[in-house]
Chains A and B, each alone.
Chain A
Amino acid sequence: MFTITKEHTTMSRETSLVTAQWVEDNLDTDGIVLVEVDEDTTAYDKGHIRGAIKLDWTTDLQDQVRRDFVSKAQFEALLSERGVSNDDTVVLYGGNNNWFAAYAYWYFKLYGHQDVKLLDGGRKKWELDSRELTDDLPSRAATSYTATEQDHSIRAFRDEAVAAIGVKNLIDVRSPDEYAGRLLAPAHLPQEQAQRAGHVPTSLNVPWSKNCNDDGTFKSDEDLKALYAEVGIDDSKETIALCRIGERSSLTWFVLKELLGHQSVKNYDGSWTEYGSLVGVPVALGDEPGSADEGGN
């Protein structure tokens, strides 16, 4: 019987990230399951890495009635039907510099999957390398997957985000224009969503893109440490990462928790679409973090 614990070993680049060449060398290795998760849920259907299965973040990973994730039982049924076992190494990749692959990585960790990795650079790196994509659909035998209860040591909810103002590290990973309130969504999407623009007072703006090179691969550990030291992140405090709907902040969560080994890092998946629609909470506008007593009732 496979046993899952909630003990987190210290993660590192070596344990949580693989290169495109490693993936190509292991396409036929038993026990490794490639999983594509894209913001554009049709991307997989236009070609994918050989053997990869698809997870649709809008239908497979979201409750279809409430705004929340699928239940433990639904996640177990999903992975069982797709042929993923508890002891498989799950290698995630996707478009948009792995935004939703990182989100799925965090989601797999949330439900206790032990061995998860990200393909460094995701689909973009694979394509820019001119590596092969296929239309062939893989066939995997069904399994009997068992998940754990959600690990809330890595998931923040709205009350925790409000309580963190001026107390914990809040890292807002959206673009500077979204942070300042000049845009409400990434610039490749129609502008909509939260009722108010701006950011959580005292949150620091460290756009997710600062973690990555142009080809989507992560910057070196040294560069990443320097990035967060420069903005003044306090290692002795807990950290909550947020963005608009929790996917870009999953990438920053991955950097802080899995690459740099920070002990207490949570992803606030409600993020700005929730916070920016709450009644009565403080909101800061402009490029500065703002103060803890800003704008609240």
Chain B
Amino acid sequence: MCGAKEGGLSLDGVNVAKEAVIQGQVLRGEEPVSNAYVRLLDRTGEFTAEVPTSATGHFRFFAGDGEWTLRTLAPKADPVDTRVVAATGSVAEVQVLVTA
């Protein structure tokens, strides 16, 4: 499991200079959602990748430069779409709030 730390996932072992990282946490109120699924959609809305959240609600993608959409699915919650811009050499941190 990914090692979580305050403010985001640990980037130990990740060569940030070569990656366009999108990462973050899914929350219901202030509670992390550990059984959510986060989908990465490209600029045309096409599915690119999907990850389940960790025990602490965290997720991470290695994307490419440009605009992306995160679509978050969680039990007993409506899907949430979040726009994000990724760039090689940086980490885009995203917080997703789901509601019942």
Contacts and interface: CB of A to CB of B under 8 A. Distances in A.
Given A187-B62, A187-B64, A128 B37 contact: yes
Interface stretch (B4-12, B24-32, B69-77, B89-97): B69-77
Interface in A201-218: 207, 209-210, 214-215
Interface string B8-21: 00000011001100
B73 A215 contact: yes
Contact of B50 (A97, A176, A185): A97
Interface string A78-111: 0000000000000000011100000000000000
A95 B40 contact: no
A274 interface: no
Interface string A11-24: 00000000000000
A223 B35 CA distance: 29
A209 B47 contact: yes
Contacts of B74: 128
Nearest to A95: B52
Main secondary structure of the interface of A (DSSP, over half): loop
A207 B50 CA distance: 13
B75 A128 contact: yes
A189 B48 CA distance: 11
Contacts of A189: 62
B48 A177 contact: yes
Interface string B49-76: 1111000000011111000000101111
A188 B19 contact: no
A186 interface: yes
B79 A176 contact: no
Nearest to A96: B50
Interface string A160-190: 0000000000000001110000110111111
A130 interface: yes
Nearest to B38: A188
A-B pairs with lowest CB-CB distance, top 9: A209-B47, A187-B49, A188-B49, A175-B48, A130-B75, A186-B49, A188-B51, A187-B63, A187-B61
26 contacts: A43-B52, A96-B50, A124-B37, A127-B37, A128-B73, A128-B74, A128-B75, A175-B46, A175-B48, A176-B46, A177-B42, A183-B64, A185-B62, A187-B48, A187-B63, A187-B64, A188-B49, A188-B51, A188-B60, A188-B61, A188-B62, A189-B62, A190-B15, A190-B19, A209-B47, A214-B71
Interface of B: 1, 14-15, 18-19, 35, 37, 39-40, 42, 44, 46-52, 60-64, 71, 73-76, 79
Given A177-B42, A187-B63, 13 more contacts: A124-B73, A127-B52, A127-B75, A130-B75, A177-B48, A188-B49, A188-B50, A188-B51, A188-B60, A190-B15, A190-B19, A209-B47, A214-B39
